A and B are shown apart, each in its own frame.
Chain A
């Protein structure tokens, strides 16, 4: 069965520091992978997605992620974090075919210190 693991429940970084959030997936075929961000009391906003092609994908708000098939990973990175990036981040894998649902990881809560 498809699954997503986000090993870090909570991460704290200083404003201006770099960030990497980890995501590992389990999926039998080539995965479609996503990163979403959720601010308190809000819905989920798509940061970026990987379907195929270039394994380094760029997203909104200065985020990027790299797909590594050999490691079954899709880690999210940002070179310099802003205080407004504090939120919950979810990695997700989409099933192919008619059941195009997303399976989410448990999320990583990012705290940014000034």
Chain B
């Protein structure tokens, strides 16, 4: 069974530029999550989708971050404009509740 796919794995941008990350969940998983993991910290949930609807985006900085999950499958997370403090690993995960979350390898963002 294929796992959660994410791209790109690494991205370096200047502050105030924009960036987008893509996630393809495990086939059939209705729930998709985006987590932000800053170096030395545990992952923090940014947004949770159930099919193509948002369940929780309470910790998403909506002035600069946006996410969508068209057709309830793939998802894109966008940052515009990026700030230095956005440097982190962005982890995508999917699940079929009430089961466990399966994580992708992450997209590492460096903002200079």
Q: Which residues of A contact B (CB under 8 A)?
A: 4, 32, 34, 36, 41-46, 49, 51, 90, 92, 98-107
Contact, CB under 8 Å: A99 / B100:
no
Give the interface residue-count category, chain B: 20 to 34
Q: How far is the CA of A35 from the CA of B59 in the complex (A)?
A: 23
**Which of A42, A51, A102 makes the CB contact (< 8 A) with B101?**
A102
B24: which A residues are within 8 A, CB to CB? Answer: none
Q: Which residues of B contact A34 (CB under 8 A)?
A: 100
Inter-chain contacts of B31 with A (CB < 8 A): 100
B98 pairs with A106, CB closer than 8 A: no
- In whole angstroms, how far apart are the Cα atoms of A98 and B91 in the complex? 21
A32 nearest in chain B by CB position? B98
In Å, the complex CA distance between A27 and B21 comes to 32
CB distance from B9 to the nearest CB of A (A): 9
Q: What A residues does B108 contact at CB under 8 A?
A: 41
A92–B103 Cα gap in the complex (Å)?
A: 14
Q: Decide if B104 touches A43 in the complex (CB within 8 Å).
A: yes
Tell me the total A-B contact number using a CB cutoff of 8 A: 57
Instruction: Determine whether the beta carbon of A101 is less than 8 Å from that of B103.
Output: no
B33 touches A46 (CB 8 A): no
Nearest 9 pairs between A and B by C-beta? A104-B42, A43-B103, A44-B103, A43-B105, A106-B42, A101-B45, A100-B97, A104-B43, A99-B56
With A101-B45, A107-B41 as given contacts, are A44 and B100 in contact (CB-CB < 8 Å)?
A: no
Smallest CB separation, B16 vs chain A (Å):
27
Please report the C-alpha to C-alpha distance between residue A32 and residue B95 in the assembled complex, in whole angstroms. 15
Q: Do the beta carbons of A106 and B91 come within 8 Å of each other?
A: no
* A101 pairs with B41, CB closer than 8 A: no
Contact A98 to B50, CB < 8 A, known contacts A106-B41, A107-B42:
yes
- Can you sample 26 A-B contacts with CB below 8 Å? A4-B42, A32-B98, A36-B103, A41-B108, A43-B91, A43-B104, A43-B105, A44-B101, A46-B100, A46-B102, A49-B100, A90-B42, A92-B42, A98-B55, A99-B48, A99-B55, A99-B56, A100-B97, A101-B48, A102-B33, A102-B43, A103-B45, A104-B42, A104-B43, A104-B44, A106-B42
